[in-house]
Each structure stands twice: as structure tokens, then as C-alpha cells.
Amino acid sequence: MGKATGFLELDRQVESYREVDIRINDYDEIFSGTHNLDQLQEQGSRCMDCGVPFCQSTTGCPIDNLIPEWNDLVYNNEWQEALERLEKTNNFPEFTGRVCPAPCEGACVLGLNNPAVTIKNIELAIVDKGFEEGWIKTRLIEYRSGKNVAIVGSGPAGLAAADELNQMGHSVKVYERSDRIGGLLMYGIPNMKLGKDVVDRRVKLLESEGIEFITNIDVGKDLTTKELKETCDAVIFTTGATQARELPAENRDAKGIYPAMDFLTSNTKSLLDSGQPDQSDLSAKGKNVIVIGGGDTGTDCIGTSLRQGAKSIINFELMSRPPEGRSDNNPWPEWPVIYRVDYGHEESSQVFGEDPRHYQLLTKAFIKGTDGNVKGIKTVNVDLIEGKLTEIEGTEKTWDAELVLLSMGFVSPEHYLSDDSEIELDQRGNYQSEHGDYRTSKEGIFSAGDCRRGQSLVVWAINEGRGVASSVNNFLANS
């Protein structure tokens, strides 16, 4: 695959983002918008024809993307063929090419002693070129089974399941409680990382192929599962893990403390509805902002707060700063737990003069003013000693804050739908069903994605959406 000596001759080169001082003034995608195809062909040549391509293993790519194949095709300037390979395993490469953290690159064999192949850049360029050239278009469905499937939730798992089942010939309706289709893709990921025109483009394509999308219907409240089952042959729950992890600290009831997803959703909805950033109480404009928790969501809160005009931005991390390179207990091909600078960190550092992240901080209490609004946070430094977080004496500190965003992940799906449908939950509060099977405790009801496996990546949601579609198809064939 690629050029036999490509990885020896060429260094890794990633596609750059737009300049910080330009992109922080708008909500457009951080990507440059154009691909250097010659450079990407060279980067494709670095794929080294390894004996076992770990990039497409479960460790690397949950949907088994045929990465060495399309790297080679790009190297040989065969872009349309590369797209055909990419679409064999990935329903939505325009999403993963933008928002996936690329575990495939963490598992790249070249990464053992050299910088990995730029797999994510190549993937995005393939699909972007596919749309530009008109290679991606409505597929005609020549056969209809007469079976009807209802999907609850329109995030990546729901959309992938809908796409697969529709192509199999079943009639599919997707129910979304929000006012727009896309779930996490629409409201959980800000415009800077995933333009909503990109989401809408795919939704319109799926719609043109026969999938019916129904918004503003909250199944379990507006429509019972029993009523839904009366109109279809199978039901799939792909509602995501939307129950945010709480922070039980003193004065948690102070105004101005919000779950990160509320903040991100509010701003994205405002931009879509009016073209203006959010100007409600959730706005960061003129405020000292503290984001508690890291990860992609924490970074997105930083980037959004900056664009709204925050006075200052601080990010609390409970654990210590990761090492620059892999530690001994984090060997290849595991995901490398290393220090990274994401787009929000880079932007905040340039605007405020320092990295917004502060490590080993435990929130002890919120400070509430006489008006009931949050005024600050009391913290203490902690250290991990014999597997237990231990407070370090004499490190107490007070931070100013008029807006606090809780970005500590999600614990489970909300349970009103499982209560309504009377399906069983697992020990973590997720909808109980097995990977590869996806059947819940109720006949004809299936679950997939984050509501089943817990908070995870978009690429895992696509994996589960494809998997549950296969399981439902088998169920329908035997019913």
C-alpha cells in the first residue's frame, strides 16, 4: 500500500486550521475549507503496507474502515474509488472526518516509532471531494419489504440505523424530540467543529431516499411506546446518554451554573434561529468563565465562550497534566493518553496569554452572592496517592466566576422512555441489550449507541447504528 519507501522519505503533515485571530471572530468551521490534494497524496504514500493494519482493528477503527486501501487509492489519485471503499464501512465520513479524535491514528503501526499517517485528513478530503464532484447522490431504493421501523433519536446511531434499514428496503421513521434533526451532531457539537449545513446536507440526502423525519415529538411523553409499536414492526431507541454527571458541592443551587450541553445547545440554537450568538443568561459575554472538566465538550465550551466575548476563561481538570509521550502503562496500540492542545486551548492561549487548563483541582464549594448568582469557586489541589485522590494541605484557592459550565461527562440516558416502555436497565442505568444483538427485554424493541453502551464516540455510534440495523433486519425477516 502507498509508496514502499514513503514513510521513510516523507514527514507527517497535517492540514492546518484557519488562523486563530480570524476564526475566533466567527462561528464558521475551524478548518481551512480547502484541501491540498497533492500533499494528501503524499501523505497517503506514508501508509507502510504493514502486515497487520491495526488502524482498522477495533482498537483503531470501530467501523473497520478500509484505511490502507483508500490511502493507497488517494496516493494513486483514484479519489472516486477511494470514496467507494470509504462508503463501504462508514455512512457519514463527513462527520467522523471532522469530529472523530482518530483512534485509528493512535493505533497506526507507523506510530510505533514515527508520527502516524494523517488518516483523518485523508478521510475528510475523500468525502468532501465526493460531494464537490457530485459522486455522492440519492440512491434509488428498488425494493420495499412492507415492514416499518421507528427510530427514536436522530443522532449518529439513529441516522446510521435509518440509513442501513432504508437501504435494506424497510420503511423508516425517525422521531426527534428537538426542533431539528441530528441530535448530538446538531446541538451537541458547535458549528466551529461541524457546520450545521453539513448535517442538513446529509439529512436531506437521507430524506430524498425515503426516510421520514419527525421533529418535536418526545416519545415517552408526547407519544407512548405502546402507541408507536401499534404503527410499526420494530422500534429502535438511539436516544444517547443525555443525563449529565452532577457536581454535588456547596451552593450548587446558585444561578449561573449550567451543564455544558445546555450552554452549547442554547448558543447553537440561537445561531440557527437568528444568526446571532446566544444572549440569554447562559451567555459568557463579559463574564469570568470557569469550565469544570475537560475532553471535547470542555474544549467546545472554551471555544464558544471565547467567541461570545468572555472576560476570562479557566478550565479545571481533576487529574494531573498528561505526559508529552506515552507512559509505560499506556502502550501502543491503545489510545495515547498524552498532552494535546485542541482548537479551544490554542485560541484561549492566544487571547489570554496562557493555556486555560489548571490541573489537579477539586471543587470544594461555589460562592453565591446575595442576589443568588454564582460569584466564584473554592478549590483545593489533589494528588492521586495509592489510587485515591488526596487533598493537598495549604492549596486552597478562590476563583472569580460569573458563569460555571459543568463538563464532566454523562452517566446514562434519561429514564422516562425506559419507564414508559418498561425495558430493563443495566447496572449503569443504560438500556439493557448486548452489543451485536441489541434486543432489549421487550419484544420488538432494540437499543443502540450511547443509550446502550454509555457515553462514547461518534464513530462508535455509527458502529452500533449499523449493527442494530442488521439485528432488526434479521428480526423482521423472521417475524
Residue 97 reports pLDDT greater than 70? yes
Residue 478 grid cell:
423472521
**Residue pointed to by grid coordinates 442505568:** 429
Model pLDDT for residues 237-248, shown as the tens digit of each residue: 999 999 999 999
**Residue pointed to by grid coordinates 450541553:** 261
**Residue pointed to by grid coordinates 471572530:** 25
Residue 253 reports pLDDT greater than 90? yes
Is the distance from CB of 126 to CB of 70 less than 8 angstroms?
yes
pLDDT at position 386: 87
Instruction: Return the number of other C-beta atoms located less than 10 Å from residue 51's C-beta.
Output: 6
Strand 445-447 relative to strand 234-237: parallel, antiparallel, unpaired?
parallel
Question: Looking at domain 148-242+411-477, does it have CATH number 3.40.720.10?
Answer: no
Tell whether the torsion through CA atoms of 95, 339, 50 and 48 is positive or negative.
positive
CA distances from 178 to 101, 135, 239, 244, 446 (A): 26, 31, 11, 18, 21
Is the distance from CB of 221 to CB of 416 less than 8 angstroms?
yes
Residue 62 grid cell:
470501530
Domain(s) of CATH 1.10.1060.10: residues in the chain = 6-132
Residue 280 reports pLDDT greater than 90? yes
Q: Which is nearest to 439 in space by CA: 234, 243, 242? A: 234
Is the distance from CB of 32 to CB of 15 less than 8 angstroms?
yes
Residue 424 reports pLDDT greater than 90? yes
6-132: CATH topology is Fumarate Reductase Iron-sulfur Protein; Chain B, domain 2 (1.10.1060)
Ranges of beta strands (E only) in 416-471 are: 445-447
| Helix, strand counts (H, E) of the chain | 17, 16
pLDDT at position 49: 84
Beta-ladder partners of 410: 244
Question: For the residues 190-217, what does the mean pLDDT come to?
Answer: 98
**Which residue pairs, CB below 8 angstroms and at least 24 apart, start in 129-134?**
129/35, 129/37, 129/79, 129/83, 130/79, 130/80, 130/83, 131/94, 131/201, 133/79, 133/80
Model pLDDT for residues 54-91, shown as the tens digit of each residue: 999 888 999 999 999 999 999 999 999 999 999 999 99
How does 193-210 read in b/e, with b if 16+ C-beta sit within 10 Å? Answer: bbbbebbeebbebbeebb
What dihedral do alpha carbons 404, 405, 409, 410 form, nearest 10°? 100
* This prediction's pTM: 0.96
pLDDT at position 4: 85
Instruction: Return the number of other C-beta atoms located less than 10 Å from residue 132's C-beta.
Output: 10
Model pLDDT for residues 446-470, shown as the tens digit of each residue: 999 999 999 999 999 999 999 999 9
Question: For the residues 168-187, what does the mean pLDDT come to?
Answer: 98
Is the distance from CB of 322 to CB of 338 less than 8 angstroms?
yes
Ranges of beta strands (E only) in 142-268 are: 148-152, 171-175, 212-214, 234-237, 243-244, 257-259
CA distance 51 to 57: 13
Q: What is the DSSP string of 188-216?
A: IS-TTTS-HHHHHHHHHHHHHTT-EEE-S
Helix residue ranges per DSSP H, 53-155: 67-75, 79-87, 93-99, 103-106, 119-132
Domain(s) of CATH 3.50.50.60: residues in the chain = 148-242+411-477, 246-408
- The model's confidence at residue 1, banded by pLDDT at 50, 70 and 90, is low
Model pLDDT for residues 348-407, shown as the tens digit of each residue: 999 999 999 999 999 999 999 999 999 999 999 999 998 899 999 999 999 999 999 999
So what's the architecture of 246-408 in CATH?
Answer: 3-Layer(bba) Sandwich (3.50)
